[in-house]
């Protein structure tokens, strides 16, 4: 029997079952399934039953690397340059402030409260920047969350892990130089540069090759095979060249999102059917690495680091969103959503342990680091789920009536001298934001204006609802423009136009088109509160928040509930 349970495949099967059961038990207690999977691993590991431990985790390292690569690819897919155009300011401020505030706060706490030396403070401070991509992905999927908050969160996770690896490489090399274990001063900047360039070449190169190979491939089985090969090649090459596998897979996901955006079934989505099992294995294995002895040994210093990091995350998130003029739901919740910490942090801790620096920092450094990560992974899923709920994105990943309007499809501070100019500008936004490369832009503008000359769609109360019906689009698409000043078009009530929603539909979606027009006319046209909020929104993120707020739910309803 012992021979059976020492078999890696049997161990993998048992961990998968236990992880899935732990996740289901957690969900019944209204906790994130990630928490249950981690606890299942802790119970099976050395802290409680001692059935499995570090040896089993090491034996299953290829499985962990594959899972982490898949998760990183999923996170990287949210770095779509065009879709994030409106979010660049808030993401930029967030990454800059995290890179500055977190290392400083953790360094100060370690040195002056925890009694640690400068090496501990520097290394733990740079580690604090990272957020666990696996945890964030799992919770977002489990809670079916979607919205501006989620898109900002996912992009922030990708960027702060890039920042963490860069800063840690600089800190690691600085300590090595000062202790005589490394090269010269120049290596402080060369080491992170080599990681970034290497990961970009590996991940970006594989992504480019994959985009070219799948250009004329449409069969789901073949796309899944190509996706699997691409992920394995990326992880393998990164390991061979001693580059961060997570960073390389993150760049792979970003490359696919930007080079093959129309191939939604390529990349991490190809593994959607068994992704829950992969995540269960990953988090259960992570739980095996938790040892209560480590927590007792490093209790005080670990708690100091955890508290300093949490304060830094919340403060950096709030200040970044404030400087970027982001909505309150982002400002008040983004920091709490970034608390989970694993994956990157564990990998970097192991780098120190396996290097000559281990003799300098001692076993206590690894112990503090592991205890910090473990506690953040237990508490973090709860704070992330709480933040998603407070932000209003929880449970929103279901089809809704006005789902075609996302942040990239919305323009604010809109100006136009007349209807022709307004329609032309909105058609340009429509073609660009929905990537309608096959649509004849000039013909579409003329078709809309011909309809307007026949019957104006300026309906009064600040609304203008132009539309067209063409064969060149797969489904209903649209864009919205908000003018706080108001556009002086001819209207039935003589009031200026503040909101223009342009819709384009294929003939078979005519009914949905009429439903959308009716919903917009009823909600915006008859509700002064919504008018006040919408007509004075200062950014696309604010507009999206208003359209998906509770006050709008009677009009922007879930389509599955309508069918029921």
pLDDT tens digits along 418-439: 888 998 998 888 888 877 777 7
Could you tell me the two tokens for 507? 């003939």
Assign 417 to helix, strand or coil.
coil
Regarding whether 493 and 348 lie in a shared domain, the answer is no
Distance CA 405, CA 144 (A): 18
**Averaged pLDDT of the chain:** 78
Assign 280 to helix, strand or coil.
helix
Which pLDDT does position 244 carry in this prediction?
76
Is residue 559's pLDDT more than 50? no
Residue 191 within any structural domain of the chain: no
Instruction: Give me the mean pLDDT over the 230-259 stretch.
Output: 82
Regarding whether 514 and 368 lie in a shared domain, the answer is no
User: What CATH number is associated with residue 545?
Assistant: 3.40.930.10
Which pLDDT does position 387 carry in this prediction?
92
Domain boundary among 330, 365, 391: 391
| Confidence class for position 6, pLDDT limits 50, 70, 90 | low
Is residue 179's pLDDT more than 80? no
Is residue 2's pLDDT more than 60? no
Distance CA 65, CA 404 (A): 36
Assign 503 to helix, strand or coil.
strand
Instruction: Give me the mean pLDDT over the 404-427 stretch.
Output: 86
516 Cβ neighbours under 8 A, 6+ residues apart = 401, 402, 476, 478, 503
Regarding whether 423 and 386 lie in a shared domain, the answer is no
First to last CA, the chain: 51
- Choose between 282 and 397: higher pLDDT: 282
Residue 201 within any structural domain of the chain: no
Residue 134 within any structural domain of the chain: yes
Which pLDDT does position 563 carry in this prediction?
37
Residues of the chain above pLDDT 70, percent: 81
Could you tell me the two tokens for 374? 């473990």
Closest residue by Cα to residue 388 from 558, 550, 557, 146: 146
Regarding whether 369 and 464 lie in a shared domain, the answer is no
Cα 243 vs. chain centroid, distance in angstroms? 22
Is residue 292's pLDDT more than 70? no
Is residue 131's pLDDT more than 60? yes
Residue 354 within any structural domain of the chain: yes
Regarding whether 124 and 34 lie in a shared domain, the answer is yes
Provide the domain count of the chain.
2
Instruction: Give me the mean pLDDT over the 504-533 stretch.
Output: 75
Regarding whether 344 and 417 lie in a shared domain, the answer is no
Is residue 98's pLDDT more than 90? yes
Distance CA 402, CA 183 (A): 58
Least confident range of 162-176, 179-193, 452-466, 478-492: 179-193
- Choose between 178 and 150: higher pLDDT: 150
Range of the domain at 449: 407-563
Cα 117 vs. chain centroid, distance in angstroms? 35
Which pLDDT does position 180 carry in this prediction?
60
DSSP structure string for 90-110: HHHHHHHHHHHHHHHHHHHHH
- Expressed in percent and rounded to 5, the helix, strand and coil fractions of the chain are 70, 5, 25
Residue 244 within any structural domain of the chain: no
Regarding whether 423 and 383 lie in a shared domain, the answer is no
Residue 105 within any structural domain of the chain: yes
Is residue 297's pLDDT more than 90? no
Could you tell me the two tokens for 255? 């490359």
User: What CATH number is associated with residue 68?
Assistant: 1.20.1530.20
Residue 157 within any structural domain of the chain: yes
Task: For strands 463-464 and 467-469, give the pairing.
Answer: unpaired
Regarding whether 20 and 154 lie in a shared domain, the answer is yes
Instruction: Give me the mean pLDDT over the 158-167 stretch.
Output: 83
Instruction: Give me the mean pLDDT over the 325-353 stretch.
Output: 82
Which pLDDT does position 402 carry in this prediction?
66
Domain boundary among 344, 360, 391: 391
Is residue 187's pLDDT more than 80? no
Least confident range of 48-62, 145-159, 302-316: 48-62
Domain boundary among 391, 415, 443: 391
Where b means 16+ CB within 10 Å and e means fewer, 354-384 reads: ebebeebbeeebbbbbbbbbbbbbbbbbbbb
Residue 197 within any structural domain of the chain: no
Regarding whether 426 and 368 lie in a shared domain, the answer is no
Regarding whether 128 and 14 lie in a shared domain, the answer is yes
**Cα dihedral 263→264→270→272 (10° resolution):** 180
Least confident range of 20-29, 300-309, 468-477: 468-477
Regarding whether 488 and 340 lie in a shared domain, the answer is no
Regarding whether 31 and 170 lie in a shared domain, the answer is yes
């Amino acid at each position: 029997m012992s021979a059976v349970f020492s078999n890696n495949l049997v161990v993998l099967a048992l961990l998968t079952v236990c992880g899935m059961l732990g996740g289901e038990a957690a969900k019944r207690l209204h906790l994130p399934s990630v928490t249950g999977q981690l606890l299942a691993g802790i119970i099976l590991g050395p802290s409680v039953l001692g059935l499995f431990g570090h040896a089993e985790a090491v034996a299953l390292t290829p499985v962990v690397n594959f899972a982490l690569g898949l998760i990183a690819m999923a996170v990287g897919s949210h770095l779509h340059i065009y879709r994030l155009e409106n979010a660049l300011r808030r993401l930029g401020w967030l990454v800059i402030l995290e890179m500055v505030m977190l290392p400083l706060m953790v360094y100060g706490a370690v040195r002056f409260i925890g009694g640690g030396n400068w090496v501990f403070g520097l290394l733990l401070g740079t580690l604090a920047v990272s957020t666990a991509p696996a945890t964030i992905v799992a919770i977002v999927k489990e809670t079916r969350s979607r919205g501006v908050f989620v898109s900002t969160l996912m992009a922030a996770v990708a960027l702060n892990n890039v920042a963490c690896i860069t800063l840690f490489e600089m800190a690691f090399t600085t300590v090595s130089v000062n202790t005589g274990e490394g090269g010269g001063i120049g290596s402080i900047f060369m080491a992170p540069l080599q990681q970034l360039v290497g990961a970009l070449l590996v991940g970006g190169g594989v992504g480019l090759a994959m985009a070219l190979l799948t250009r004329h491939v449409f069969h789901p089985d073949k796309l899944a095979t190509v996706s699997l090969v691409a992920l394995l090649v990326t992880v393998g090459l990164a390991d061979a060249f001693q580059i961060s596998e997570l960073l390389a897979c993150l760049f792979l996901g970003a490359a696919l999102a930007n080079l093959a955006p129309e191939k939604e079934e390529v990349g991490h989505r190809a593994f959607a059917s068994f992704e829950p099992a992969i995540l269960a294995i990953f988090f259960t294995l992570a739980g095996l690495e938790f040892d209560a002895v480590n927590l007792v040994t490093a209790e005080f210093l670990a708690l100091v680091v955890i508290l300093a990091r949490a304060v830094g995350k919340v403060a950096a998130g709030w200040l970044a969103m404030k400087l970027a003029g982001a909505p309150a739901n982002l400002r008040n919740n983004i920091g709490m959503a970034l608390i989970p910490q694993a994956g990157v942090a564990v990998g970097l801790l192991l780098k120190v342990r396996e290097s000559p620096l281990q003799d300098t920092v001692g076993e206590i450094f690894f112990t503090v680091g592991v205890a910090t990560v473990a506690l953040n992974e237990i508490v973090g899923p709860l704070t992330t789920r709480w933040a998603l709920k407070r932000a209003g994105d929880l449970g929103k990943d279901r089809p809704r009536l006005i789902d075609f309007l996302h942040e990239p499809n919305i323009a604010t501070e809109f100006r136009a001298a007349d209807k022709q100019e307004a329609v032309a500008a909105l058609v340009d936004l429509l073609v660009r934001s929905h990537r309608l490369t096959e649509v004849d832009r000039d013909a579409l503008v003329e078709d809309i204006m011909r309809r307007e000359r026949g019957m104006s769609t300026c309906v009064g109360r600040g609304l203008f609802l132009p539309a067209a019906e063409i064969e060149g689009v797969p489904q209903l698409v649209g864009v919205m423009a908000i003018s706080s000043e108001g556009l002086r078009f001819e209207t039935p009530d003589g009031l200026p136009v503040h909101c223009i929603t342009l819709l384009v539909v294929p003939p078979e979606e005519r009914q949905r088109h009429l439903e959308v027009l009716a919903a917009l006319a009823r909600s915006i046209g008859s509700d002064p509160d919504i008018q006040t909020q919408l007509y004075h929104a200062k950014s696309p993120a604010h507009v999206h928040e208003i359209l998906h707020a509770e006050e709008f739910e009677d009009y922007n309803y879930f389509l599955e509930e309508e069918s029921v």
